[in-house]
């Protein structure tokens, strides 16, 4: 909360590519609507990718960790005036930026009534923040879940506010192995979305425990770390990346042979027949 509320004021303040590296090229229809988002909102974007379905007209969408609202305002155009987008974030400073630009975007989109609202709260406590159960068709999350100390609770809360058959689309940072205690406790690495990275195999287990269908991988990409101080903390986990046996060394990142840090875009779906399943339990 302190890192993104006070220490980081723009994308340029970030020390790794974790929060700015798209896992795949943004589709043309997304690029078009992003052009209408205010520059002040864009400059404070800290996401690691974006994965959303193409047909969102009329849907109710929730953005976990919405920050200054870039993705919310993008989604606002995709759901149309009949749809609605809610953004939730714990950081007051970022929500202030998002709220300040609400009227600007509604006028830019030609909407008579706002179809976006912002809520201050924790992604581990969605219902406590006032969000109703079984009320959203789609949830998106962009490089946020890794910042939570209780990722199972995040998934469980997301599951509870999704409608039966609803879907969670998220882009986040995952690791191919266990992080050291020093890495897990490093404040800057936490803020840079590395210390909280979940082992990807644990994601599979957590999703099943909560009740989601198995995650579907959309795409993945490597993260680079060029900050020398952070390289020292990462130690042997920070090596050169190679595309093949004869490939030239690239910028410092996580080695294929050591800790492979990935920006991953995934999809989770609430299992159909959730009520019947819960009765059986």
Dump pLDDT digits (tens) for 91-125: 999 999 999 999 999 999 999 999 999 999 999 99
Pairing type for strands 162-175 and 84-89 reads unpaired
Lowest mean pLDDT among 53-57, 85-89, 116-120, 257-261: 257-261
The proportion of the chain whose per-residue pLDDT surpasses 90, expressed as a percent, equals 46
Q: What pLDDT is attached to residue 240?
A: 30
Q: What pLDDT is attached to residue 138?
A: 96
**DSSP one-letter string for 196-210:** TPEEHHHHHHHHHHH
Q: What pLDDT is attached to residue 146?
A: 87
Pick 256 or 78 by higher pLDDT: 78
For the record, the structure tokens of 92 come out as 């007051």
Q: Is it the case that residue 25 has pLDDT exceeding 50? A: yes
Q: What pLDDT is attached to residue 271?
A: 60
The superfamily CATH assigns to domain 2-222+260-268 is Vaccinia Virus protein VP39 (3.40.50.150)
In angstroms, the CA 39 to CA 138 distance is: 26
Q: Where are the domains of the chain?
A: 2-222+260-268
For the record, the structure tokens of 271 come out as 């299992």
Q: Which residues in the chain belong to E strands, given as ranges?
A: 60-64, 84-89, 116-120, 136-142, 162-175, 198-199, 216-222, 238-240, 252-254, 261-269
């Amino acid at each position: 909360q302190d890192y993104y509320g006070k220490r980081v004021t723009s994308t340029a303040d970030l020390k790794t590519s974790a929060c700015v590296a798209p896992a795949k090229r943004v589709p043309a229809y997304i690029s078009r609507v992003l052009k209408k988002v205010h520059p002040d909102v864009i400059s404070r974007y800290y996401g690691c990718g974006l994965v959303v379905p193409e047909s969102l007209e009329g849907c109710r969408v929730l953005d976990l960790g919405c920050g200054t609202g870039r993705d919310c305002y993008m989604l606002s155009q995709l759901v149309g005036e009949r749809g609605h987008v809610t953004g939730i974030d714990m950081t007051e400073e970022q929500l202030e930026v998002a709220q300040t630009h609400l009227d600007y975007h509604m006028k830019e989109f030609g909407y008579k009534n706002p179809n976006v609202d912002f809520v201050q709260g924790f992604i581990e406590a969605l219902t406590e923040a006032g969000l109703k159960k079984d009320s959203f068709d789609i949830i998106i999350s962009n490089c946020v879940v890794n910042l939570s100390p209780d990722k199972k609770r995040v998934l469980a809360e997301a599951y509870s506010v999704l409608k039966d058959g609803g879907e969670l689309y998220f882009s986040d940072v995952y690791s191919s192995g266990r992080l050291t205690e020093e890495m897990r406790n490093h404040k800057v690495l936490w803020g840079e979305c590395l210390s909280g990275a979940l082992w990807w195999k644990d994601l599979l287990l957590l999703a099943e425990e909560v009740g989601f269908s198995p995650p579907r991988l959309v795409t993945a990409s490597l993260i680079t770390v060029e900050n020398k101080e952070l390289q020292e903390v990462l130690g042997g986990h920070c090596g050169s990346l190679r595309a093949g046996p004869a490939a030239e060394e690239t910028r410092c990142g996580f080695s294929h042979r050591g800790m492979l840090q990935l920006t991953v875009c995934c999809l989770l779906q609430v299992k159909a027949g959730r009520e019947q399943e819960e009765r059986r339990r």
